């Protein structure tokens, strides 16, 4: 039995035997010749004991999972999307872990557009507050990392492209913040907005536009606090939803200034510029 087979079937004893019987040069620890690695197989199975055994081997590539011309997926993303949080927490402690690497599937004759996802985006769109909090603590997390096409657009978002959704040329990029705003996850939105590197206007479809379409007033207020730009698409969406953006800006700006004034010697509650288009 090969290491790959042992990991796929969850045979812990065989894995131990294989790893102890040969040196690192004798065992293909990363499964370079297979469709996916032994570590990926163990993560998919949720077998943390095998994952621990593999991580202890010199030369293990913690980011090496599915690898072929059209597909890729990291062990971290595989474990997370299958609900194996204990394995996720273990992988996040490993030096060299790429927390921004998720999955990718290239367009084919069976799938007319590329699909892409990453751990932070997945956590935001599924409302997983604790995982978002955990990932944001990672040193190299890219909070503004955009993905293409994995998040199904809302009907009104087609105004951003004249192409049909099932076209391989239909490409919109959106951020984890957008994913949380689209679904109304206020706590996650607030958590993301606390990140120093957050950019509220990133992506082809803005988080503010998603919040307006969902009629999430509190999220709209939070985004405006952090400098969200009210572009023409946002104005059109607000008009359709009967949302008075200008009154929100004025009301929340007054509250913000009072809050800052009261805490002049303490921690400032909000940071960032406020986008206000004052008209005479």
Question: In this predicted model, what pLDDT tens digit does every residue of 56-85 receive, in sequence order?
Answer: 999 999 999 887 656 788 999 999 999 999
Same domain, 109 and 48: yes
Q: Per the domain annotation, does 73 fall within a domain?
A: yes
Which whole number is the average pLDDT over 36-45?
Answer: 94
Q: Per the domain annotation, does 127 fall within a domain?
A: no
Same domain, 177 and 103: no
The pLDDT score that the predictor gives to residue 256 is 47
User: How many CB atoms are located within 10 Å of the residue 243 CB?
Assistant: 19
The pLDDT score that the predictor gives to residue 117 is 86
Comparing 49-58, 95-104, 164-173, 190-199, which segment has the lowest mean pLDDT?
164-173
Contact 143, 197 (CB under 8 A): yes
The pLDDT score that the predictor gives to residue 72 is 84
Boundary of a domain, candidates 117, 133, 153: 117
Q: Per the domain annotation, does 253 fall within a domain?
A: yes
Q: Per the domain annotation, does 274 fall within a domain?
A: no
Whole-number Cα distances in Å, 5 to 8, 23, 39, 175: 5, 18, 11, 38
Residue bearing the bigger pLDDT, 90 or 112: 90
The overall average pLDDT reported for the chain is 80
Same domain, 107 and 189: no
Q: Is 115 helix (H, G, I), strand (E, B) or coil?
A: strand
Q: Per the domain annotation, does 43 fall within a domain?
A: yes
Contact 141, 175 (CB under 8 A): no
The pLDDT score that the predictor gives to residue 22 is 65
Percent residues over pLDDT 70 in the chain: 74
pLDDT above 50: residue 2: yes
Same domain, 75 and 9: yes
Confidence of residue 261 (pLDDT cuts 50, 70, 90): very low
Confidence of residue 252 (pLDDT cuts 50, 70, 90): low
- Summarised one tens digit per residue, pLDDT across range 116-164 is 789 999 999 999 999 999 999 999 999 999 987 544 444 443 333 333 3
Q: For residue 203, what is the domain's CATH number?
A: 1.25.40.20
Boundary of a domain, candidates 117, 138, 154: 117
Strands 66-67 and 71-73: antiparallel
Q: Per the domain annotation, does 228 fall within a domain?
A: yes
Same domain, 7 and 113: yes
The pLDDT score that the predictor gives to residue 171 is 63
Confidence of residue 257 (pLDDT cuts 50, 70, 90): very low
Q: Per the domain annotation, does 27 fall within a domain?
A: yes
* Partners of residue 73 on adjacent β-strands: 66, 103
The whole domain housing 59 covers: 1-117
Of 78, 92, 83, which is closest to residue 133 (Cα–Cα)? 92
Q: Per the domain annotation, does 270 fall within a domain?
A: no
Number of domains in the chain: 2
Same domain, 109 and 3: yes
Residue bearing the bigger pLDDT, 178 or 116: 178
What letter does residue 163 receive in the DSSP assignment? S
Comparing 155-164, 176-185, 197-206, 244-253, which segment has the lowest mean pLDDT?
155-164
Q: Which of 101-105, 191-195, 252-256 has the highest mean pLDDT?
A: 191-195
Same domain, 2 and 84: yes
Same domain, 111 and 1: yes
Boundary of a domain, candidates 102, 117, 132: 117
Does pTM top 0.75 for this prediction?
yes
Same domain, 176 and 99: no
């Amino acid at each position: 039995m090969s290491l790959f087979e042992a990991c796929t079937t969850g045979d812990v004893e065989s894995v131990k035997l294989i790893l102890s019987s040969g040196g690192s040069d004798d065992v293909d620890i990363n499964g370079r010749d297979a469709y996916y690695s032994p570590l990926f197989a163990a993560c998919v199975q949720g077998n943390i004991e095998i994952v621990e055994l593999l991580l202890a081997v010199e030369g293990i590539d913690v980011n090496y999972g599915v690898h072929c011309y059209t597909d890729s997926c990291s062990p971290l993303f595989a474990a997370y999307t299958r609900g194996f949080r204990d394995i996720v927490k273990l992988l996040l402690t490993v030096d060299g872990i790429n927390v921004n690497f998720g999955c990718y599937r290239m367009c084919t004759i069976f799938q007319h557009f590329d699909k892409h996802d990453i751990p932070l985006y997945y956590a935001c769109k599924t409302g997983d507050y604790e995982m978002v909090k955990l990932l944001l603590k990672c040193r190299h997390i890219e909070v503004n990392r955009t993905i293409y096409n994995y998040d199904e657009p809302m009907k009104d978002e087609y105004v951003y492209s004249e192409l049909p959704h099932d076209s391989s040329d239909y490409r919109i990029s959106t951020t984890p913040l957008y994913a949380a705003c689209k679904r109304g996850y206020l706590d996650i939105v607030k958590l993301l907005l606390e990140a120093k590197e957050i950019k509220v206007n990133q992506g082809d479809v803005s988080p503010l536009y998603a919040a307006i379409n969902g009629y999430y007033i509190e999220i709209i207020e939070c985004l405006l606090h952090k400098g969200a730009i009210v572009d023409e698409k946002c104005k059109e969406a607000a008009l359709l939803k009967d949302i008075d953006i200008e009154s929100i800006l004025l009301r929340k700006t007054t509250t913000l200034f009072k809050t800052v004034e009261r805490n002049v010697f303490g921690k400032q509650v909000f940071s960032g510029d406020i986008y206000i288009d004052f008209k005479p």
